Amino acid sequence: MTDIRAVSRQLADALKGHRADYIEARLEESQRSHITYRGKELESAGQSTAVGGNVRALVKGGWGFVSFNDLTDLPDRIERAVKQSKLVGKEESRLAPVETVVDTIANGKDVPLTIPLAEKKKLLDEYNEIIWRTPHLQTSVIAYGDSHKKTIFLNSAGSYIEQPRTDITLRISAVAADDGEVQQAGLSLGSRGDFGAIRNLHQQVEETAKHAVALLSAPRLKGGDYTVVLDPVLAGVFVHEAFGHLSEADHIYQNERLREIMVLGKKFGGKELNIIDSAAVPDLRGSYKYDDEGVAATKTYLIKEGKLVGRLHSRETAARMGEKPTGNARAINYRFPPIVRMTNTYIEPGKGSFEELIAGIKEGVYAKNWFGGTTSMEMFTFSAGEAYMIRNGKLAEMLRPVVLTGNVFTTLNNIDAIGNDLDMNQGGGCGKGGQMPLPVSNGSPHIRIRQCLVGGS
């Protein structure tokens, strides 16, 4: 593979002397493997390598962006980016100031690269065999992927950052059918390079398949307002999808209505409610030392003691809104410019145990896991993967999956208890601006919500 370190020295020389307000470049080399099963059969498996880069230039507030996978003629790439930016720019260029950084981060866990594809397939064969021991299954999906990427960032201010990243994901879905009824159950995991995170899942895989079948005979919930307890997975998805995206500053400054809603200091919940986004938490899928603009990762409180206190920024959005950059400019790969994205988004733990959260509920719903959903501004709809009735402070019968609907700000205000059992979900990925799936994690303790609209499905 091409030595991008040698190429970066050529690129750094080429950046000198260009008449732009600001120029930055990223070089990237990556190795990937994937294995996918659909039903009983192996659908695809393979490995790939890639190398490429991009240049982004700023002139009079206008950005020019050029990506490439041919690392020759770098001065021409820079010149094209500068010319593009001059076509766009008509205002003053504004970027929040940050320190110039020269840093090389050591390689982290890259275990997946040392494991043969055949060994990975053998493990997934075992999981697929377990799934298909279960009667009444209609189909299943197993999707495994891993990647190891090294990036070099440099800019016209003199920053130079080498940074590696390893990522692993595994998604398993089992679909059961009987007499016209169809139900599904799923398992989604990931890690920052620890292959052990997806080993020894045999029992969980078996339980997932059996749960899909058990749902066929579970009763439906009568829709209405209930006191609902969310597990850490579903609560984490809620805080990411329903609130986290509203905290991305590019959404805010471009949308007048959202600016009126997301006013710093506004009360959105009780004093126990704290919501954080932080890439500085070690060993999570959304973690890194520097973002794709060379800004150091931070711990950003979005809500503190129930009040809105922060939002997520790139250097440009921070300058536009007169705030500090938060290190949240991210790109999925060298083909895209960085945009404002979440990293590891979570609700801080409170003091209650799960048993204390459900103890006072006469009739309510315990909702776990998730299968998808939609958001539109402050309105959300999420499908839970599992649900159980709560009766007289105890878990009762299993239900068909339920759908939660509401206004995110009303729902945040209706959180009246937060557990002490924070857990981070490492599966899945985030999509925005055509860049998906970006590695993130989200999490929460168990939370209790009053007057939540719940529908059966």
Task: Tell me the C-alpha distance between 341 and 430, whole Å.
Answer: 9
- Whether the CB-CB separation of 88 and 369 falls below 8 Å is answered with no
278-284: long-range pairs with CB below 8 Å, 24+: 278/343, 278/344, 279/327, 279/328, 279/343, 279/344, 281/344, 283/192, 284/192, 284/344, 284/424, 284/426, 284/441
- Cα–Cα distances (Å) from 239 to 27, 91, 232, 234, 382, in that order, read 33, 36, 10, 9, 12
- Residue 306, beta-bridge partner list: none
- Phi, psi torsion values for 405, nearest 5 degrees: -135, 145
DSSP designation for 420: S
The amino acid occupying position 30 is S
Angle (CA) 84-89-91 rounded to 5° is: 170
Report the amino acid identity of residue 138. Answer: Q
Q: Which domains does the chain have, with CATH numbers?
A: 4-217 (3.30.2290.10), 224-456 (no CATH)
Confidence (pLDDT) at 216: 94
| The residue type at 230 | L
What six digits make up the tokens of 83? 């010319």
Q: Which of 454, 360, 444 is nearest to 402 (CA)?
A: 454
DSSP letter string, 272-295: T--EEEETTSTTSTT--SB-TTSP
In our burial notation (b when 16+ CB lie closer than 10 A, e otherwise), range 84-97 reads bbbeebeeebebbe
Amino acid occupying residue 110: D
CB distance 374 to 383 below 8 Å: no
Q: Estimate to the nearest angstrom the gap between the alpha carbon of 46 and the chain centroid.
A: 24
Residue whose token pair is 């070690």? 282
Write down the H helix ranges in 288-353: 315-321
Question: How confident is the prediction along the chain (457 residues), in pLDDT tens digits per residue?
Answer: 568 888 898 888 888 878 899 999 999 999 999 999 999 999 999 999 999 999 999 999 999 999 999 999 999 999 999 999 999 999 999 999 999 999 999 876 657 888 999 999 999 999 999 999 999 999 999 999 999 999 999 999 999 999 999 999 999 999 999 988 899 999 999 999 999 999 999 999 999 999 999 999 999 999 999 999 999 999 999 999 999 999 999 999 889 999 999 999 999 999 999 999 999 999 999 999 999 999 999 999 999 999 999 999 999 999 999 999 999 999 999 999 999 999 999 999 999 999 999 999 999 999 999 888 889 889 999 999 999 999 999 999 999 999 999 999 999 999 999 999 999 999 889 999 999 999 999 999 999 999 999 997 5
C-alpha 8 chain-centroid distance: 29
Neighbours of 353 (CB within 10 A): 13
Look at residue 153 and give its three-state secondary structure: strand
126: amino acid identity, one letter: E
